[in-house]
Chains A and B, each alone.
Chain A
């Protein structure tokens, strides 16, 4: 058996492009139907990364921008596995994260929220999954913050997560939320996802077993990328 195409994306599970309660999606969502493409070499390949591309400290957001001491905030570990739809681990894949600081402010020129910048917190990190698909970061828990959508919208605390997988068709960006946050259910961006079971997939549970006593709490966030079909019978991408 030779691996072939990736399973089609479940468009009823993924958010549609036009979600009017998230206002910015209105002028930025295509109106024409997407063209369904049978995958070729262009889609089943993708960039390959190695340990030479990143530094070991890149996954430690408590230390990777520290100038005069540690950043302010609740110390947490975020860990989990990258798997595919067939329950196989996705090894050696690049995971990148970015987030607000503990007060809910990003170190970004366009963020003007009144909460202060933390001089010791950059707010981004990256790592490669190990051979079994595991990854981990150390950071501080991000704060909730207001955003311009309805007059009084607040984002639940979240960490942005970007994952590559082994091919360009698996590329995914999502957001991780924290168990128990009452703002999750009220967020128009969260609610761009139509199926409530899919929303649950983005909520990381508190994982006391992975906490470090007297040091850091932990949250567990598994990520699932598209799986691929096996060629049980010939249907070659490359012809005969």
Chain B
């Protein structure tokens, strides 16, 4: 017998279930228990950059909106710096910038939204720049293991065309499933990003 490898196995995932809201977003689901609900303010009041709203629906394979999803977002600041000690430029991250948020969908309509600052481009592997993007993690009843995807911005055409991740998607028409479209509403920028869990135009999900 060779020597044993003594790695542990990752704990298996289980669905977040229908009541994930009381655990991770009690205030947003109308349950007042914590003095500080986490994940409500991604950028903080002082971070520089363009303030944007991002919104959308999550559709199931029948086309119906999913009304019990919880989404977490992780992003760099407007200079492309992550608020994490392993980012080499961490010391220069925007003041008060958390980079992380969580939202739940409206129980009646399924619409979700958050406000933040638009991230800057971040360095990818081997020195290639990645287009500005938000990383998403999606959990819900019926999802056995959280789904990872990214939101890119449709108006960043040049950066998107050179993005190493978008370019890895073999079927070119599927790249569009990761692009949020931009519109102005009451003078403020709103990005729309619909997620399709299954079926026509299924969103590209990642194995990270």
Instruction: From the candidates B24, B72, B85, B144, name the one contacting A17 in the complex (CB within 8 A).
Output: B144
Classify the interface of chain A: helix, strand, loop or mixed. loop
Whether the Cβ atoms of B12 and A201 lie closer than 8 Å is: yes
Which residues of chain B are within 8 angstroms of A31 by Cβ–Cβ distance?
61, 198-199, 202
Tell whether A220 is near chain B: CB-to-CB under 8 Å: no
Q: Is B173 an interface residue (CB 8 A)?
A: no
What is the CA–CA distance of A29 and B197 in the complex, to the nearest angstrom? 6
| Contact in complex: B22, A124 (CB < 8 Å) | yes
- Taking a contact as CB atoms under 8 Å apart, the answer to whether B33 and A122 are in contact is yes
A78 to chain B: closest CB distance in Å? Answer: 14
- Is A224 engaged at the interface, CB distance under 8 Å to the other chain? yes
Q: Which residue of B lies closest to A19 (CB)?
A: B144
Interface string of A108-120 (1 = CB under 8 A from B): 1111000000000
Q: Is the CB of A160 within 8 A of B198?
A: no
Counting chain B CB atoms within 10 Å of each CB, the highest count among A6, A87, A173, A202 belongs to A173
- Binary A-proximity of B165-177 (CB < 8 A = 1, otherwise 0): 1001100001000
- Cβ–Cβ contact B130 & A42, under 8 A: yes
**Contacts A36-B207, A201-B11, A223-B11 known; A160 to B30 CB distance under 8 Å?**
no
Contact A44 B204 (CB under 8 A): no
Interface of B is mostly: loop
Q: How far is the CA of A172 from the CA of B15 in the complex (A)?
A: 10
Check if B127 sits within 8 Å of A240, measured CB to CB.
Answer: yes
| A53 partner, pick from B36, B123, B125, B204, beta carbons under 8 A | B36
Interface 1/0s, chain A 131-149, versus B by CB < 8 A? 0000000000000000000
Binds A, one of B2-10, B48-56, B153-161, B184-192: B2-10
Chain A residues, CB < 8 A from B140:
28
- Interface size class, chain B: 35 or more
Contact of B30 with A109 in the complex, beta carbons under 8 Å? yes
Q: Is the CB of B16 within 8 A of A225?
A: no
User: How does the 8 Å CB contact mask read for A1-40 relative to B, with 1 for contact and 0 for none?
Assistant: 0000011111101111101001011111111101111111
Closest chain-A Cβ to B83's Cβ sits at a distance in Å of 7
Contact B142 A22 (CB under 8 A): yes
Chain A residues whose CB sits within 8 angstroms of the CB of B76 once the complex forms: 41-42
Point out the residues of chain B lying under 8 angstroms from A25, CB to CB: 15, 142-144
Query: How far apart are the CA atoms of A206 and B24 in the complex, in Å?
Result: 27
Q: Give the complex CA separation of A192 and B17 in angstroms.
A: 13
Contact code string B19-31 (vs A, CB < 8 Å = 1, else 0): 1111110100111
Contacts of A58 in B (CB 8 A): 34
> Do residues A98 and B19 form an inter-chain contact, with CB atoms below 8 A?
yes
Q: When the two chains form their complex, are residues A225 and B125 in contact, meaning their CB atoms are under 8 A apart?
A: no
- Known contacts A30-B205, A37-B208, A53-B36; A15 and B9 CB within 8 A of each other: no
Q: A13-B12, A227-B7 are in contact. Are A124 and B208 (CB under 8 A)?
A: no
- B window 139-155: CB within 8 A of A: 139-147, 150
In the complex the two chains form, is B86's CB within 8 Å of A44's CB?
Answer: yes
Least distance between A93 CB and chain B CB atoms (Å):
13
- For A173, the chain B residues whose CB sits under 8 A away are 13-16, 20, 139, 146
A-B contacts, 22 of them at CB < 8 A, read: A10-B10, A15-B12, A15-B144, A41-B86, A42-B122, A42-B135, A45-B87, A49-B38, A84-B8, A85-B10, A87-B7, A107-B31, A108-B22, A110-B107, A122-B31, A124-B22, A160-B17, A172-B10, A175-B15, A175-B17, A192-B15, A239-B128
The interface of chain A, by Cβ under 8 A from chain B, is 6-11, 13-17, 19, 22, 24-32, 34-49, 53-55, 58, 64-65, 83-87, 94, 96-98, 106-111, 122-124, 126, 160, 162, 167-169, 171-175, 189-190, 192-193, 197-199, 201-202, 223-227, 236-240
Chain B interfacial positions (CB closer than 8 Å to A)? 6-24, 26, 29-31, 33-36, 38, 60-62, 64, 66, 68, 72, 74, 76, 82-88, 98-100, 107, 122-128, 130, 133, 135, 137, 139-147, 150, 165, 168-169, 174, 197-199, 202-208
Q: Add 7 more A-B contacts to A42-B130, A55-B36 (CB < 8 A).
A: A15-B144, A39-B208, A41-B123, A47-B84, A106-B22, A108-B19, A172-B13
Closest 6 CB pairs of A and B: A98-B23, A239-B127, A24-B142, A47-B100, A45-B84, A28-B142
